[in-house]
Structure 1
Amino acid sequence: MSSGKGGGGGGGGKGGAGGGKKKEVKKETKLGMAYKKDDNFGEWYSEVVVNSEMIEYYDISGCYILRPWAMEIWEFLKEFFDAEIKKLKLKPYYFPLFVTENVLQKEKDHIEGFAPEVAWVTKSGKSDLEAPIAIRPTSETVMYPYFSKWIRSHRDLPLRCNQWCNVVRWEFSNPTPFIRSREFLWQEGHTAFATKEEADEEVLQILELYRKIYEEFLAVPVSKGRKSEMEKFAGGLYTTSVEAFIPNTGRGVQGATSHCLGQNFAKMFDITFENDKGSRSMVWQNSWAYTTRSIGVMVMTHGDDKGLVLPPRVAPLQVIVIPVPYKDVDTTAIVNECKKTVETLEKAGIRADLDTRENYSPGWKYSHWEMKGVPLRIEIGPKDMANNQARVVRRDNGAKADIPTADLVEKVNGLLDEVQKNLFETAKQKRDACLKVVNTWDEFIVALNDKKLILAPWCDEEEVEKDVKARTKGDLGAAKTLCTPFEQPDLPEGTTCFASGKPAKKWSFWGRSY
Structure 2
Amino acid sequence: MASVESITQSLAGLSIQPAAAVTHTATDATSWRETLQASSSAPASFETLKTMVYKPKTAKAATPVPLVIIARESTDVNSAAVGKKLNLKEVRVASEDLLNEFFALDKNSLSPLMLTAETYPKVATVLDASIASSSSLFAVRARSSTTTLFLSGKDILTYLRTLETQDAPLQEIDLEALKVDAAPAGQVKATPVKKEKDDAKIEGAVQIAIGIKKEVDFAAWYTNVLIKADMMDYYNVSGCYILRPWSYSIWEVIQDWFNVRIREMGVQNAYFPMFVSAKVLEREKDHIEGFSPEVAWVTRAGQSELEEPIAVRPTSETVMYPYYAKWIKSHRDLPLKLNQWNNVVRWEFKNPQPFLRTREFLWQEGHTAFLTKEEADKEVREILDLYRQVYEDLLAVPVIRGVKSEKEKFAGGLYTTTVEGFVPATGRGIQAGTSHCLGQNFSRPEMFNIFVEDPNDPTNQTKAYVWQNSWGLSTRTIGVMVMIHGDNQGLVLPPRVASIQVVIVPCGITAKTSDEQRKSINYRCEELASVLKSVGVKAKADLREGYTPGFKFNDWEQKGVPLRLEIGPADLKKSQTLTVRRDTGVKAPLPLAEVTSAVPKLLETIQADMFKRAQDTYFSRLKEVTRWEDVVPTLDDKCVVVMPWCEEEACEDDIKERSARSDEPQDERAPSAGAKSLCIPFDQSRWPPIEPGKTKCAACGKDAKRWTMFGRSY
TM-score (norm 1): 0.94
Q: Secondary structure at the match of 1:167?
A: strand
Deviation at 1:4, TM superposition (A): 4.6
Select the residue among 398, 402, 412 that pairs with 2:589: 402
Distance 1:105 1:471 in 2: 35
The structural deviation recorded for 1:472 is 2.8
Q: 2:314 aligns with which of 137, 154, 162?
A: 137
Q: Retained in 2: the 8 A contact 1:5–1:46?
A: no
Is the aligned partner of 1:500 residue 2:687? no
Q: 2:110: which partner in 1?
A: none
Amino acid aligned to 2:678: L
Aligned 8 A contact 1:38 1:248 in 2: yes
CA distance in 2, matches of 1:275, 1:75: 41
> In 1, distance between residues paired with 2:581 and 2:712?
34
Q: What is the alpha-carbon distance in structure 1 between the residues aligned to residue 30 and residue 448 of structure 2? A: 44
Alignment partners' CA distance in 1, 2:691 and 2:425: 33
- Equivalences for 1:318-397 in 2 at 5 Å? 318-324=501-507, 325-329=509-513, 330-397=517-584
| Structure-1 residue corresponding to 2:220 | 43
**Structure 2 CA distance for aligned equivalents of residues 367 and 125 of structure 1:** 49
What is the TM-score normalised by the length of structure 2? Answer: 0.68
Which moved further from structure 2: 299-308 or 470-479?
470-479
Deviation readout 1:313-348 (Å, 9 max, x if unpaired) = 001100000011233223100000001000000111
Work out which of the residue numbers 421, 424, 434 in structure 1 matches 2:621: 434
- 1:126-172 CA distance string (max 9 Å, x none): 21111111000000000000000001110010000000000001111
Equivalence for 1:298: 481
Q: 2:230 & 2:602 partners in 1: Cα distance?
A: 25
Point out the structure with max Rg over C-alpha: 2
SS of corresponding position for 2:555: helix
Q: Aligned residue for 1:309?
A: 492
Greater Cα offset, 464-473 or 277-286: 464-473
Task: Give aligned pairs, total.
Answer: 495
Q: Distance in 2 between matches of 1:468 and 1:266?
A: 35
Q: Secondary structure at the match of 1:333?
A: helix
Aligned residue runs from structure 1 range 251-262, under 5 A:
251-262=428-439
Match of 1:263 in 2: 440
Matched-pair contact (CA < 8 Å) for 1:5–1:47: no
Match in the other structure for 2:192: none
Moved more, 202-211 or 276-285: 276-285
**Partner amino acid for 1:464?**
C
Q: CA offsets per residue over residues 427-447 of structure 1, 9 Å max, x none? A: 111112211111111111111
Which structure 1 residue ranges, 5 or more long, are not aligned?
Answer: 9-27
What is the identity, as a one-letter code, of the residue corresponding to 1:478? G
Match 2:356 to one of 176, 179, 183 = 179
Q: What RMSD over aligned residues (CA atoms) do the two structures have, in Å?
A: 1.6
Q: Distance in 2 between matches of 1:439 and 1:211?
A: 28
Q: What residue in structure 2 maps to residue 486 of structure 1? A: 682
CA distance in 2, matches of 1:412, 1:98: 48
Could you tell me which of 446, 449, 463 is aligned with 2:636?
A: 449
Does the Cα contact within 8 Å between 1:457 and 1:496 map onto a contact in 2?
yes
Question: Quick one: distance in 1 between partners of 2:642 and 2:608?
Answer: 26
What SS does structure 1 have at the residue aligned with 2:497? coil
AA aligned opposite 2:454: N
| Distance in 1 between residues matched to 2:304 and 2:406, nearest whole Å | 43
CA distance in 2, matches of 1:430, 1:162: 34
Q: CA deviation at 1:470?
A: 2.2
What is the distance in 1 between the residues matched to 2:403 and 2:31?
A: 36
2-structure distance, mates of 1:91, 1:411: 39
Cα deviation, residue 409, structure 1: 1.4
Q: CA separation of 1:4/1:84 partners in 2, compared to 1, >3 Å: closer, same or farther?
A: farther
Over the matched positions of the two proteins, sequence identity in percent amounts to 53
* CA deviation after TM superposition for structure 1 residue 275, in Å: 2.2
Tell me the equivalent position of 1:89. Answer: 266
Are 1:205 and 2:382 an aligned pair?
A: yes
- Residues 491 and 560, structure 2, Cα contact 8 Å, conserved in 1: yes
SS for the counterpart of 1:457 is: strand
Q: Secondary structure at the match of 2:290?
A: helix
Secondary structure of residue in 1 paired with 2:210: coil
Structure-1 separation of matches of 2:711 and 2:537 = 40
Over 3 Å counting, the alpha-carbon distance change for 1:322 and 1:219 in structure 2 is same
- What is the distance in 1 between the residues matched to 2:619 and 2:464? 46
**Match for residue 146 of structure 1 among 301, 317, 323:** 323
- Give 2:290's aligned amino acid: G
The CA deviation at 1:29 is 5.5
| Corresponding position: 1:461 with 2:648 | yes
- Cα deviation digits, residues 361-413 of structure 1 (max 9, x gap): 00010000000000000100000111111111000001111111110111111
Bigger relative contact order (CA 8 A; separation at least 6): 1
Contact residue 631 and residue 659 of structure 2 kept, 8 A: no
Give the match for residue 276 of structure 2: 99
- C-alpha distance in 1, partners of 2:208/2:312? 40
Q: Which structure 2 residue ranges, 5 or more long, are not aligned? A: 1-27, 36-204, 661-665
Partner AA of 2:690 in structure 1: L
The equivalent of 2:713 in structure 1 is: 513
Report the residue type matching 1:328 in the other structure: K
* Aligned-pair CA distance for 1:469: 1.7
Aligned equivalents of 1:492, 1:42: Cα separation in 2: 42
For 2:544 and 2:453, the matched residues in 1 are separated by: 67
